[in-house]
Chains A and B, each alone.
Chain A
Amino acid sequence: MEDIIISKNLSKNYNGNKAVSNLDLSIKKGEIYGLLGPNGAGKSTIILMILGLTEPSSGTINVAGFNSTREALKVKRIAGYLPEKIGFYEDMTAEQNLAYTAELNNIKYSEIPKKIEKALKIVGLVENKKQIVKQFSKGMKQRLGIADVLIKDPELVIFDEPTEGLDVKVANSILDTIIKLNKEKGITFMLSSHQLNLIQKICHRVGILSNGNLIGEGKIDELGRKLFGGGRFIIEVEISGDTKEILNKFSNLKDVIDIGKEGNVFQIICNKDLRSEISKIIANTESILTRMNIKDYALEEIYLKYFKEE
């Protein structure tokens, strides 16, 4: 698939500090990409450079073939941006706020009401059209923000901290909307966040950012495999009794990549779900299986792993 965002050697210095250094990023059309990293990792800087709101110190960035620095207007025409702390004019109604955005996007006056109606329908705020934004809750504002970017019929939406400050229920409804838009309209999403557990569920690919460097990129399972020596699963086994014999037997199992042992607890990294084999091995010994669980690679662990290594 074609790339919608391509950055090459992208760097940005603030007062001598490198906020972003030599970043090569490519985001495919139609995917949901998660840009992850702690605060200050350079996520916002990258976003601002994508939108042409900040000039890179060196390197280039292109959005849908337009140079973000030189053709910022064209980029902003197709790319919607939801800032982390989204704000609306509080004394204006939802409709008036969206109409202002529509006018700034050079949309014909006659089409504006239709577009507003459509966008509000998608986010479920049609009822609140005539309400002033001051009365909106945080979640409603976030949804209005989505409607706001939809006004311009974007190809790409950059969403800074989409779930920040929202309770899980509201955050999930926002994420559902993102998936829906991605599927139905084919809109590419770039989500920047430090809240991993929520993001990982919907991202096709993630990039992990640390101090301005992309230290890992790819599908979540790929990332995990790369990180943990290619294994996909972690099986934790706790037994009572002799562990030495069992350890040997585990090592002989196919598909096992690595085994760690801490007291009575084994950590088996493997490419296959080996739980039945493991329980058989234990049953054949005198030891007793006290606990066993299996984990898919969670982004959080990947993430933690990266920053442990830092």
Chain B
Amino acid sequence: MKVKSKRIKSAVIAILCVFALSIIFAMPSAILAQEEEAETETDVPEEISFDIPYPEVKAKFGESFNFKVDVSYKGDEPLTFDVNWEAPEGWYVRIKPSYQETEISAVKLDPGQEESWEISAAPQVKVEPGDYPIKIIASNEDIGLEATAEITAVITASYDMDLATKTGRLNTEVTSGKDNKYTLVVNNTGTDSIENISLSTQEPEGWLVNFDNDDIETIESGDKKEIVATIKPPEKTVAGDYVLTLNASSENAQDSLELRVTVLTPTIWGWVGIGIIVIVIVGVAIIFARLGRR
């Protein structure tokens, strides 16, 4: 048994050695063969070109615009190209090979090589909605080769609204049966003015909630408006915490706010309650004192 396995082992090792040696000797000849092939190719005119599947990208202000660019180069020998961009003022454009984080300013391309880039553009300052053309230029000044790609970032208007309370607190205390004023703030955080904002509420049954201005005509972008809400819980509201949902909505934007409303016992009834308790206790105590022995 032992003798037999030894023999198999040595056989396997021998075969592996032969195999390895054959690879070592065969490699150089393969590489050489390739080189020979390239040299033998005829002159091809150098050409670099961009292919942009989606040359126009829409986004809101504040977001970045991402483009995909495929670069292909045809020629005899590898060439290095400078990569530049031109964009309206205030914009910054980053060019990166796909799936990499490095921003590039030059690229070396082999003949026939195709590469894909990711271009992201973002305005660094506040800009109006509109079309912003961006040019991507790859050039080699030595042989005067240049390719230009035109892409357009279209900034669309954004409609954003923020409903908040003036104090920033999301709870308030109210008295039942009374008008309780509470100031809300509608903030236009979008890039365009918002029109026809209507306010509505989801209130507990029987509650009355009114706004001094429940139909706001317009709020300019970045502007805000204060609204006074009048909250009136019905006379017979059990004291405690209630949730009041306030909605501001327009055609383009909407926001809502959950307000925790604590209904307080009207002080008068609180005192009457305590009064009754005291009267009962004192009354029973007096009865005991008057009627009990010792």
Contact = CB atoms under 8 A, between A and B. Distances in A.
Judged by CB atoms under 8 Å, the answer to whether A and B touch is yes
Interface of A: 91-92, 96
Contacts of B293: 91-92, 96
A129 to B, nearest CB: 14
Contacts of A92: 293
B167 to A, nearest CB: 66
Interface in B34-64: none
Nearest to A91: B293
A96 B291 CA distance: 13
B291 to A, nearest CB: 13
A92 B293 CA distance: 8
A91 B292 CA distance: 12
A232 B177 CA distance: 105
Specify the main secondary structure of chain A where it touches its partner. Answer: loop
Contacts of A96: 293
B97 to A, nearest CB: 105
Interface string B250-294: 000000000000000000000000000000000000000000010
Interface of B is mostly: loop
Nearest 3 A/B pairs, CB to CB = A92-B293, A96-B293, A91-B293
Nearest to A93: B293
A58 B293 CA distance: 46
A91 B293 CA distance: 9
Contacts of A91: 293
A44 B286 CA distance: 44
B272 to A, nearest CB: 39
A57 B225 CA distance: 104
A96 B293 CA distance: 10
A145 to B, nearest CB: 21
A272 B293 CA distance: 64
A96 B294 CA distance: 11
A113 to B, nearest CB: 17
A297 to B, nearest CB: 53
Nearest to A92: B293
3 contacts: A91-B293, A92-B293, A96-B293
A107 B293 CA distance: 21
A133 to B, nearest CB: 13
A164 B293 CA distance: 32
B139 to A, nearest CB: 119
Interface in B150-165: none
B227 to A, nearest CB: 73
A92 B294 CA distance: 10
Interface string B210-249: 0000000000000000000000000000000000000000
A160 to B, nearest CB: 29
A89 to B, nearest CB: 10
B86 to A, nearest CB: 111
A177 B293 CA distance: 32
Interface in B131-181: none
B292 to A, nearest CB: 12
A78 B217 CA distance: 102
B293 to A, nearest CB: 7
B146 to A, nearest CB: 121
A278 B227 CA distance: 138
A92 to B, nearest CB: 7
A96 B292 CA distance: 13
B288 to A, nearest CB: 16
A225 B222 CA distance: 136
A228 B293 CA distance: 60
A97 to B, nearest CB: 12
A90 to B, nearest CB: 12
B286 to A, nearest CB: 20
A149 to B, nearest CB: 24
A100 to B, nearest CB: 12
A154 to B, nearest CB: 28
A132 to B, nearest CB: 9
A89 B36 CA distance: 137
Interface string B76-93: 000000000000000000
A192 to B, nearest CB: 34
Interface string B115-128: 00000000000000
A125 B293 CA distance: 21
A202 B268 CA distance: 78
B25 to A, nearest CB: 127
B243 to A, nearest CB: 59
